[in-house]
Amino acid sequence: MNASDVRILKTIGVVADATKSMQLELNIVSIDGGEIKYDLREWSLDHDRIGQGVSFTTDGAQVLLALLKECFKDGGEGIDITTIHIPDTDLFGNPVAEPVKPQIDTGVCDLLTEKGISYTDKRYNGGALWVIGDHSLDSIMLELAEKGYKFLYSEKGGKQTKGKPGWYLRAPKS
């Protein structure tokens, strides 16, 4: 399929920012003058080239939306991908390579546990490590900063703190 085969009727938004010269977009399209569909695919910034993607009818998009809502129910951060079992073989019995998991420094978790501080760690999924608490934790956070773990404070917290004040540490960018 060529970009000239796809007529963008409405751009919903960019799902992933440009890498090199392509970006992942959600659009409402008509392909070769056919049925109107929701289309998720990579486009060049000037829309002259397209990449891999998938198109959904309205019914298919509603099913996808329901599935995504189930993944993110209760305001969570999605499914914990570290608990998903990956089979050793594909459907045809061929060996499957083990996915590469991000390397996350867990030393800070050990330090927090030693101090009796509970935390939620979503760094493996691109999120942050969160500690619920206010400025009463300043001295502990300063101690952690001296060891290389520089937490940031948020009065309004985040999803993991359910709006309570908290401290967060982002995963290093790879």
86 belongs to a structural domain: no
> What's the Cα-to-Cα distance from 39 to each of 22, 34, 36, rounded to whole Å?
15, 13, 9
- The answer to whether 30 touches 7, Cβ cutoff 8 Å, is yes
Strand-pair category, 22-31 with 6-19: antiparallel
pLDDT number for residue 121: 85
Specify whether 66 is located in the same domain as 114.
no
Tell me which DSSP letter residue 90 carries: -
Specify the range with the lowest mean pLDDT, choosing from 42-56, 94-108, 133-147: 94-108
Residue with tokens 């009463």: 136
Q: Given phi > 0 = left and psi -120 to 50 = alpha, else beta, which region is 41?
A: beta
Specify whether 111 is located in the same domain as 160.
yes
Segment 1-47, tens digit of pLDDT: 888 889 999 999 998 876 678 899 999 999 998 999 999 999 988 88
Residue with tokens 């400025």: 135
Specify whether 65 is located in the same domain as 118.
no
49 belongs to a structural domain: yes
Helix-helix angle 138-146:107-114, to 10 degrees: 140
85 belongs to a structural domain: no
Specify whether 9 is located in the same domain as 56.
yes
Domain count, the chain: 2
Specify whether 114 is located in the same domain as 64.
no
76 belongs to a structural domain: no
Segment 63-115, tens digit of pLDDT: 999 888 888 776 667 777 666 777 777 778 888 776 555 567 778 988 999 98
162 is in which domain, residue-wise? 107-170
CATH code for position 34: 2.30.31.70
| Rg of the chain taking only CA atoms, in angstroms | 22
The SS3 call for residue 5 is: helix
pLDDT number for residue 26: 95
